[in-house]
């Protein structure tokens, strides 16, 4: 069990403020938007609307060079995430549930909703994930390494949890995100 620590207060340095503007060019919702601290609702039925949401999530994730995105990051408080594992087509998960976690890994994370801020987060090394796919069919995956990390980060978003809640505060650093493609 890890100790309960106070959430990190995010103070954006002036030189990074331009990243926090939200517009058509940068549609991802940024902190401190309340939708990022909301427990999202399960999708009752996977519909055309859900598929449109998934397509939008994938398009925005790609444009932002992200490797994962959760619906609340587009202001939609529903339990839908997408991830882009290296060398694979993006995967969409509706109502994802992490069934089991194994081992641990520590690695750097960032977040498109907290652009410019990075830090080391301890996550499970491997997970078992159950969800519905974009057509509403049940799927189950075992994931390790980076995809497992990204899914844990995105599922946290669905519960209003940000990586800064779990980061090792001593490792937090601000960096310009250009040239940092691995940002879930
Ligand atoms: Zn994130």
* pLDDT of res. 24: 87
Residue whose C-alpha is closest to residue 78's, from 119, 116, 35: 35
Classify residue 126: in a domain, yes or no.
yes
Q: Is there a catalytic annotation at residue 128?
A: no
Q: What is the mean pLDDT of residues 47-72?
A: 97
Question: pTM of the full predicted structure?
Answer: 0.92
Classify residue 181: in a domain, yes or no.
no
Q: What is the mean pLDDT of residues 123-146?
A: 98
Provide the domain limits for residue 100: 14-174
Classify residue 9: in a domain, yes or no.
no
* pLDDT of res. 181: 45
Cα–Cα distance between 108 and 146 in angstroms, integer?
Answer: 10
What is the number of structural domains in the chain? 1
The conformation of residue 167, written as its DSSP 8-state character, comes to: B
Catalytic residue among 9, 25, 102, 154: 154
Classify residue 1: in a domain, yes or no.
no
Residue 36 CB contacts under 8 Å (≥ 6 apart), including other chains: 29, 72, 73, 113, 157, 160, 162
| C-alpha 44 to ligand 1 mean position (Å) | 24
Cα–Cα distance between 102 and 110 in angstroms, integer?
Answer: 22
| C-alpha 184 to ligand 1 mean position (Å) | 5
| C-alpha 139 to ligand 1 mean position (Å) | 23
Q: What is the mean pLDDT of residues 132-151?
A: 97
CB 132 within 8 Å of CB 94: yes
Classify residue 7: in a domain, yes or no.
no
| C-alpha 1 to ligand 1 mean position (Å) | 23
pLDDT digits over 155-183, tens only?
A: 999 999 999 999 999 999 999 876 554 45
Classify residue 8: in a domain, yes or no.
no
Classify residue 99: in a domain, yes or no.
yes
pLDDT of residue 52 exceeding 60, the answer is yes
| pLDDT band, residue 1 (cuts 50/70/90) | very low
Classify residue 60: in a domain, yes or no.
yes
pLDDT of residue 40 exceeding 90, the answer is yes
CATH of the domain at 88: 3.90.45.10
């Amino acid at each position: 069990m890890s100790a309960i620590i106070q959430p990190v207060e995010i103070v954006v340095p002036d030189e990074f403020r331009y990243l926090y503007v939200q517009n058509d060019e940068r549609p991802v919702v940024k902190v401190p938007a309340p939708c990022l601290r909301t427990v999202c609702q399960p999708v009752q039925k996977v519909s055309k609307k859900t598929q449109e949401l998934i397509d939008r999530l994938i398009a925005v994730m790609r444009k932002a060079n992200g490797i994962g995105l959760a619906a609340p990051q587009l202001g939609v408080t529903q339990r839908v995430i997408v991830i882009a594992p290296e060398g694979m087509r993006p995967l969409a998960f509706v109502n994802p549930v992490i069934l089991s976690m194994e081992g641990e890994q520590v690695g750097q994370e960032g977040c498109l909703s907290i652009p410019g801020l990075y830090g080391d987060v301890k996550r499970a090394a491997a997970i078992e994930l159950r969800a519905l796919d974009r057509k509403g069919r049940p799927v189950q995956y075992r994931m390790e390494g980076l995809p497992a990390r990204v899914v844990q980060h995105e599922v946290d978003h669905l519960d209003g949890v940000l990586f800064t809640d779990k980061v090792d505060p001593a490792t937090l650093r601000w960096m310009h995100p250009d040239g940092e493609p691995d940002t879930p």
